[in-house]
C-alpha cells in the first residue's frame, strides 16, 4: 500500500539524465520502465508503472469505439505517452516532446500524486503549488469549519 508522496527536485545533467527519487523507484517496485503521458490539464507529465496504462486502457474499453471520445482518449493514452527506461542508476532521459510540453530544462520537480507522480519545471510547479494551496483553503472555507485539514474528519 505504498504511494507516491512528497515533492523533490533533481537536476538534469549534460546528457539529459535525471535521477528518479529513490522513494518513487521503490513504489514502482523494481520496474525498470516508466510509463508517462503528457497532462491535458497543465504543463506537466504524469508517470507511473505499467499499471497506469492498463488503467487508462480499461477506461478506453468502456467507451464506444466509434465515438469521438474514444478517438480522443485513445490518442491521448497512446500517442502522447512514452515508455521511458530507468537505467541501472535509477535515471531516465526525458524526450523532446516532454521537455517541450513541460518547459523542463535543467531541473525537474517530482511530485507525488498517490498512484502516479508528476514531473514539472520547478518554476511552473511553484505557481501550481501556490494556486492549489489557495484553492484548498477556499475549498475548506466553503465546506465549513468541519472541513479543515486532517481535522476535517472531526467525527473522531
Partner DNA sequence: TGGGTTCATTTGGGCGTCAATGGATTCAGT
Partner DNA sequence: ACTGAATCCATTGACGCCCAAATGAACCCA
* Residues of the shown chain interacting with DNA in the complex, contacts defined by CB under 7 A: 10-11, 13-16, 18-22, 25, 85, 87-91, 93, 95
Q: How far is the CB of 119 from a copy of itself (least distance, A)?
A: 12
Q: Is 114 exposed, middle or buried (0-12, 13-18, 19+ CB in 10 A)?
A: exposed
| Strand boundaries in 54-154, DSSP class E | 81-85, 91-93, 107-112, 117-120
Subset of 113-142 contacting a copy of itself (CB under 8 A)? 113-116, 129, 132-133, 135-137, 139-140
Residue 112 — φ and ψ, nearest 5°? -70, 140
| 6/1 Cα distance (integer angstroms) | 16
Q: How far is the CB of 142 from a copy of itself (least distance, A)?
A: 9
Subset of 7-46 contacting a copy of itself (CB under 8 A)? 7, 23, 37, 39-41, 46
Tally the C-alpha atoms within 13 A of residue 137's C-alpha that lie toward its C-beta: 6
Toward a copy of itself, which CB reaches closer, 80 or 99? Answer: 80
Tally Cβ neighbours within 10 Å of residue 10: 17
Binding mask 39-78 for a copy of itself (x = CB under 8 A): xxx----x-x---xx-xxx-x--------xx-xxxxxxxx
| 125/156 Cα distance (integer angstroms) | 34
Residue ranges in contact with a copy of itself by CB under 8 A:
3-7, 23, 37, 39-41, 46, 48, 52-53, 55-57, 59, 68-69, 71-83, 95, 97, 111-116, 129, 132-133, 135-137, 139-140, 144-146, 148-153, 156
Amino acid at each position: 500500500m505504498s504511494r507516491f508522496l512528497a515533492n523533490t527536485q533533481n537536476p538534469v545533467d549534460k546528457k539529459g539524465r535525471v535521477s528518479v527519487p529513490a522513494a518513487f523507484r521503490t513504489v514502482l517496485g523494481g520496474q525498470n520502465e516508466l510509463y508517462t503521458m503528457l497532462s491535458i490539464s497543465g504543463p506537466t507529465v504524469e508517470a507511473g508503472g505499467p499499471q497506469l496504462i492498463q488503467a487508462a486502457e480499461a477506461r478506453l474499453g468502456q467507451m464506444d469505439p466509434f465515438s469521438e471520445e474514444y478517438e480522443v482518449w485513445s490518442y491521448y493514452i497512446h500517442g502522447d505517452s512514452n515508455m521511458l527506461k530507468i537505467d541501472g542508476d535509477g535515471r531516465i532521459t526525458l524526450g523532446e516532446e516532454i521537455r517541450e510540453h513541460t518547459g523542463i530544462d535543467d531541473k525537474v520537480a517530482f511530485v507525488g500524486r498517490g498512484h502516479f507522480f508528476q514531473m514539472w519545471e520547478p518554476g511552473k510547479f511553484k505557481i501550481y503549488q501556490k494556486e492549489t494551496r489557495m484553492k484548498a483553503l477556499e475549498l475548506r472555507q466553503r465546506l465549513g469549519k468541519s472541513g479543515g485539514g486532517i481535522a476535517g474528519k472531526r467525527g473522531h
